Structure 1
Amino acid sequence: MKTISKFLSVLVVLILFSSCNDDDDNNVTPQTNTIVDVALNNNLTELAAAVTRADLAGTLSSDGNFTVFAPTNDAFQELLDSNADWNTINDIPVETLRAVLLFHVLDSEVMSSELSDTYVNTLSTGPNNEAISLQVEVTGGVSFNGTATPLTTDVNASNGIVHVIDKVMLPPNVVTIALNNSGFTSLVAALTDSRHTTDFVSILNGDGPFTVFAPTNDAFQDLLDSNQNWNSLTDVPIATLDAVLKYHVVNGLNVQAKQLSNGDVPVIGGSITIDLTSGAQIKTSSNQTVNIIVSPATNDVQATNGVVHAIDTVLLP
Structure 2
Amino acid sequence: MKKLNLLKTAFVAIFTVVAFSCSDDDSSSQNNTIAGIASRNPNLSSLVAALERAELTSTLNGSGSFTVFAPTNAAFTAFLNANGFANLEAVPVPVLKQILLNHVVSGSVQSSQLQTGYIKTLATYGGTTSGNTLSMYVNTASGVRLNGVSSVSTPNIIASNGVVHVVDAVIGLPTVVTFATADPTFNILEAALTREGDNITDFVTVLSGSGPFTVFAPTDGAFGNLLTELGAPSLAAIPESTLDPVLKYHVASGNVLSSALTPNGNTTVTTLQGQTFTITLPGTGGNIANVTDAANRASGIVAVDVQAANGVIHVLNKVILPGS
Q: Which category describes the TM-score, using the shorter chain as reference length?
A: 0.7 to 0.9
> Could you tell me which amino acid in structure 1 is paired with residue 223 of structure 2?
F
List per-residue Cα deviations over 1:99-141 (Å, max 9, x = no partner).
1101000121111111100111111111461111111111133
Quickly say closer, same or farther: Cα 1:208–1:94, change in 2 above 3 A. Answer: same
2:68 touches 2:105 (CA, 8 Å); kept in 1?
yes
2:261 touches 2:267 (CA, 8 Å); kept in 1?
no
2:211 aligns with 208
Q: Specify the SS of the correspondent of 2:153.
A: strand
Cα separation, 1, equivalents of 2:309 and 2:117:
18
2:75 touches 2:169 (CA, 8 Å); kept in 1?
yes
Cα separation, 2, equivalents of 1:47 and 1:57:
10
Q: Which moved more, 1:187-196 or 1:171-180?
A: 187-196
Aligned-pair identity (%)? 44
Trace 1:120-199 onto structure 2 (pairs within 5 A). 120-127=119-126, 129-193=131-195, 194-199=197-202
Of structures 1 and 2, the one scoring higher in RCO (CA 8 A, sep 6+) is: 1
Cα separation, 1, equivalents of 2:154 and 2:239:
49
Q: Specify the SS of the correspondent of 1:98.
A: helix
1:311 aligns with 316
How far the C-alpha of 1:79 sits from its partner, in A, is: 1.6
Q: What is the TM-score with the length of structure 2 in the denominator?
A: 0.83
How far the C-alpha of 1:225 sits from its partner, in A, is: 1.2
1:268 aligns with 272
Count of aligned residue pairs for this structure pair:
282
2:89 aligns with 90
Cα separation, 2, equivalents of 1:114 and 1:34:
21
2:66 aligns with 66
User: Could you tell me which of 297, 306, 317 is aligned with 1:288?
Assistant: 297
Cα separation, 2, equivalents of 1:204 and 1:76:
25
Q: Specify the SS of the correspondent of 1:136.
A: strand
What do you get for the CA RMSD once the two structures are aligned?
A: 1.7
> Could you tell me which amino acid in structure 1 is paired with residue 156 of structure 2?
D
Instruction: Please state if 1:119 is matched with 2:118.
Output: yes
How far the C-alpha of 1:30 sits from its partner, in A, is: 4.7
Q: What is the TM-score with the length of structure 1 in the denominator?
A: 0.84
Q: Specify the SS of the correspondent of 1:52.
A: helix
User: Could you tell me which of 243, 246, 250 is aligned with 2:245?
Assistant: 243
Cα separation, 2, equivalents of 1:237 and 1:268:
19
User: Runs in 1 of length 4+ with deviation above 4 angstroms?
Assistant: none
2:220 aligns with 217
Cα separation, 2, equivalents of 1:276 and 1:83:
42
Cα separation, 1, equivalents of 2:145 and 2:194:
25
How far the C-alpha of 1:84 sits from its partner, in A, is: 4.0
How far the C-alpha of 1:60 sits from its partner, in A, is: 1.2
Largest Rg, 1 or 2: 1
Unaligned runs of 5+ in 2: 1-27
> Could you tell me which amino acid in structure 2 is paired with residue 55 of structure 1?
E
List per-residue Cα deviations over 1:60-92 (Å, max 9, x = no partner).
111101110011112112222324442x22222
Q: Specify the SS of the correspondent of 2:143.
A: coil
